[in-house]
A and B are shown apart, each in its own frame.
Chain A
Amino acid sequence: MSAPTASADPLNAGIEKLVHELSVLPLKGEHLGIAESYNPAHFTLTNYTFWMLIALVLTTLFFVVASRKPKLVPSGIYNLAEAGVAFVRDSLCAEVMGPEGRKYFPFIGTVFFFVLFNNLLGNIPPALPGTGTLGTTFMWGLIVFTVYNGIGIKKNGLGRYIKSFIPSGTPVWLAPFIFVLEIISHFLRPITLGIRLYANMYAGHIMLGVFAIFMAIAIEHVAATSFVVLPLSFIMQVVLRGFELFVAVLQAYIFAILTAVYINGALHASEH
């Protein structure tokens, strides 16, 4: 996306700047006014990858600090980490995949905590969520796609895994259509995984930004409407921020549980 062009309308100018700020930009000091756009062919630290690295460091620090002194009766940060890990193991893996699911806990735990920490970090004002760009989320979708197909092929064998795309008892004339539909639905999975997470994060930040722009305009151009717009926008800002925190956790949960469901489907592919 190009740099913001000078627009006469303050609302338009604000939204243009907001969209520009939320686009992927190379990180060079203050990146707000830089006209050049991001070139994917070059390896550059962008604003999103920068905050993703910070989230990575924070995740590592959190678990290292939390598990430094394991205690029988958990307390403090250790308790928090244990509750999170136990939640992923029992409510995500065991609930969806049964006792077999504990084998896949490391992968699903990684997905869950990566998405969770990135989403939550994005709620601290100068930070951007690493998951707020299609590059990251689509890549995670592809990783999940590769992993669950790999597990399915390893468990059932390539022939039986592909054969499982056609449910037993399908009439012969219908089988090719079902097969094509199933292939399409499999390839749609990484795309929907990526778009769901990206759009949730992006939409949340756009909403917050729009209400911040309303507040800025109300302060800058004082009019009778300012006294209505300002408090209303402020209330919306607070409510939306709370909602964003909820969405951050919910999206991490949905991403991880869908991963578990896909792996479960691949594991039991030959049974139906």
Chain B
Amino acid sequence: MHDQEEEVVIGSLSVLGAGLAFGLGGIGAALGIGMIGSKTIESMARQPEMAGRLQTTMFIALGMTEAIGLLGFVLAFVLQGVK
């Protein structure tokens, strides 16, 4: 393969990889955040007096789940730099 062709292939594949990293990473985080939200609402409806503590715990779990999705976002930018 010519050098120029190789460059194009690597460049386009890195962009594809970046998209996949962000997209697939986002699916997992989205499912996780959805589950956290739905379960918190369920628990709050069941025991409204626990709402305050549930909310605190929800935000902690939310932060941890979100970090996984954002790792994909950062990885996407790293992969895009590959040329």
Q: Please tell me if A254 contacts chain B, counting CB pairs below 8 Å.
A: yes
The segment from B6-14, B30-38, B40-48, B63-71 found at the interface with A is B63-71
The answer to whether A196 and B66 touch across the interface, beta carbons within 8 angstroms, is yes
B: which residues have CB within 8 A of A? 52-53, 56, 59-60, 62-64, 66-67, 70-71, 73-74
Q: How many residue pairs bridge A and B at CB < 8 Å?
A: 37
List the B residue with the shortest CB-CB distance to A250.
Answer: B59
CB A251 to nearest CB in B, in angstroms, measures 8
Residue B62 contacts which of A91, A192, A198, A254 (CB distance < 8 angstroms)?
A254
In the bound complex, CA of A91 to CA of B53 (Å): 9
Chain A contacts of B73 at CB under 8 A? 199, 203
The answer to whether A257 and B59 touch across the interface, beta carbons within 8 angstroms, is yes
CB A108 to nearest CB in B, in angstroms, measures 14
In the bound complex, CA of A198 to CA of B56 (Å): 22
Q: What 19 additional pairs, Cβ within 8 angstroms, besides A195-B70, A200-B70, A254-B63? A: A91-B56, A95-B52, A95-B53, A95-B56, A192-B67, A195-B67, A195-B71, A198-B74, A199-B70, A199-B71, A199-B73, A199-B74, A203-B70, A250-B59, A253-B59, A254-B60, A257-B56, A257-B60, A258-B63
A254 with B70, Cβ < 8 A, contacts A95-B52, A95-B53, A192-B64 known? no
Q: Please tell me if A261 contacts chain B, counting CB pairs below 8 Å.
A: yes
Q: Please tell me if A208 contacts chain B, counting CB pairs below 8 Å.
A: no
Chain B contacts of A95 at CB under 8 A? 52-53, 56
Q: Chain A interface residue count: which class?
A: 10 to 19
Residue A261 contacts which of B60, B62, B66 (CB distance < 8 angstroms)?
B60
Q: Please tell me if A230 contacts chain B, counting CB pairs below 8 Å.
A: no
Q: Please tell me if A245 contacts chain B, counting CB pairs below 8 Å.
A: no
In the bound complex, CA of A254 to CA of B33 (Å): 14
Q: Please tell me if A96 contacts chain B, counting CB pairs below 8 Å.
A: yes
Chain B contacts of A199 at CB under 8 A? 70-71, 73-74
In the bound complex, CA of A204 to CA of B70 (Å): 12
In the bound complex, CA of A199 to CA of B26 (Å): 13
Task: Give me 18 A-to-B residue pairs in the complex whose CB atoms sit less than 8 angstroms apart, sorted by A's number.
Answer: A91-B56, A95-B52, A95-B56, A192-B67, A195-B70, A196-B63, A196-B66, A196-B67, A198-B74, A199-B74, A200-B66, A203-B70, A250-B59, A254-B63, A257-B56, A257-B59, A258-B60, A261-B60
Query: Which of A95, A198, A199 has the most chain B CB within a 10 Å cutoff?
Result: A199
In the bound complex, CA of A192 to CA of B69 (Å): 11
In the bound complex, CA of A253 to CA of B59 (Å): 9
